[in-house]
Structure 1
Amino acid sequence: MTNYRRHYQAGGTYFFTLVLADRRQDWLVSHIAALRQSIHQKQQRAPFALQAWVVLPEHCRLLMRLPEGDRDFSNRLRRIKGDFSRQIPLPADLRQSQRAKGERGVWQRRFWEHAIRDEDDWRRHMDYIHHNPVKHGLVARVSDWPHSSFHAYVQRGVYPPDWGWAAEVEMAAGE
């Protein structure tokens, strides 16, 4: 097994990508209420600030800030993933080895994390999260994707409602 080292920073802010084991599934959007409930319940048990998120059919991206003195993001994510997995139907193609380990085969075992370094890094990841549905071709405008914290940031005046249109991005990339 790979000896992977994570960067644990007490009170840190992190960008995460969580991916379904079977990327052909749409379980995250088809069971969005279960995902929201899992996150909310885990916030009650082990508080954290969910600063931004986007949920796509087969993966989600989160920007999470931990409380001062707390660096345990791994158990928070493990519990969110486990709780969500128990709320949806068991996949039909679950392997015997997964059953033996008590796994449900919903999520990839690992997740990707990045420790946010500064305000510019935070802003880039915030924009990346909110632009993700456009990047993946799910919508032409960020505002058309319902499963995102983008809408809350528009209400607060952080983003204009028409931010992140695919046409703007293509034009900017071609300049």
Structure 2
Amino acid sequence: MELPKRKPMRLPEYDYAGHGAYFVTICTKDRRCILSNITVGADAPGGPNVQLTDTGKTVEQYIQSMERMAGFHVDKYVVMPNHIHMILSVDNGPPRASAPTVSDAVGALKRLVNRRLGRDIWQRSFHEHVIRNEQDYREIWEYIDENPARWVGDRYYEP
């Protein structure tokens, strides 16, 4: 299946190095399901169960280590079979010329994971959405929470 070509979706006048929260989605190359396995329905009576693969465990380790990147905080995340979702908050303190951006954080995550695994597992680009208000934040938080339950309806799902 040929995947769609992506075009930049960034707001032209928005300061991506400034304070704020972002909904970030990073997909695996060719949408390969290498990060986790999800069981739902009768196989998961307490709700969906996300079991990370070894690759997924490495990804999770580096997501959690993003806390050490100055100015970034991962508020929420989920590791799906072929992508990850994160709410990434940026608080760089006083404005400065060299403040890291969301692209810097995502690029570092992808680079570190690839280096650790010894191979490139990521799609070239990533998707981001500027979280504009509290309601938007809550809806995205719920979307991330509920994402594993929706996996069986995903076009890349294979039982």
Quote the residue 2:101 is aligned against: 72
Structure (1/2) with the larger helix percentage? 1
In terms of fraction of residues, the more strand-rich structure is 2
Query: CA offset at residue 39 of structure 1?
Result: 2.4
* Alpha-carbon distance, 1:23 to partner: 1.5
Q: Which runs of 5+ in 2 are unaligned?
A: 1-5, 37-51, 154-159
Among 19, 25, 37, the alignment partner of 1:11 is 19
| CA distance in structure 1 between the aligned counterparts of 2:136 and 2:8, rounded to whole angstroms | 27
1:88 paired with 2:117, answer yes
- Equivalent position of 2:129 in the other structure: 114
CA shift at 1:86, angstroms?
Answer: 1.5
Structure 1: unaligned runs, 5 residues or longer: 91-103, 139-175
**Change in CA separation of 1:15 and 1:3 when aligned onto 2, cut-off 3 Å:** closer
Q: Secondary structure at the match of 1:25?
A: coil
Does the CA contact (< 8 Å) of 2:17 and 2:102 recur in 1? no
Q: Deviation above 3 Å: which 4+ runs of structure 1?
A: 1-7, 68-71
SS in 2 for 1:108: coil
Whole-Å separation in 2 of the counterparts to 1:107 and 1:50: 19
- Name the SS of the counterpart of 1:37 in structure 2: helix
Provide the C-alpha distance between the structure 1 equivalents of 2:21 and 2:8, rounded to a whole number of angstroms. Answer: 23
SS in 2 for 1:136: helix
Aligned length: 124
- Identity among equivalent pairs (%): 28
In 1, distance between residues paired with 2:108 and 2:17?
Answer: 19
Is the contact made by 2:26 and 2:83 (CA closer than 8 Å) also made in structure 1?
A: yes
TM-score (normalised: structure 1): 0.62
User: Which residue in 2 is equivalent to 1:44?
Assistant: 68
What is the aligned partner in structure 1 of residue 80 from structure 2? 56
Match for residue 30 of structure 2?
A: 22
Tell me, yes or no, if the aligned pair for 2:66 and 2:73 is still in contact at 8 Å: no
Q: CA deviation at 1:35?
A: 1.3
How far is 1:3 from its partner? 5.8
Partner residue, 1:100: none
Which structure carries more relative contact order (alpha carbon 8 Å, separation 6+)? 2
Q: Please say if residues 11 and 71 of structure 1, whose CA atoms lie closer than 8 Å, have aligned partners that are also in contact.
A: no
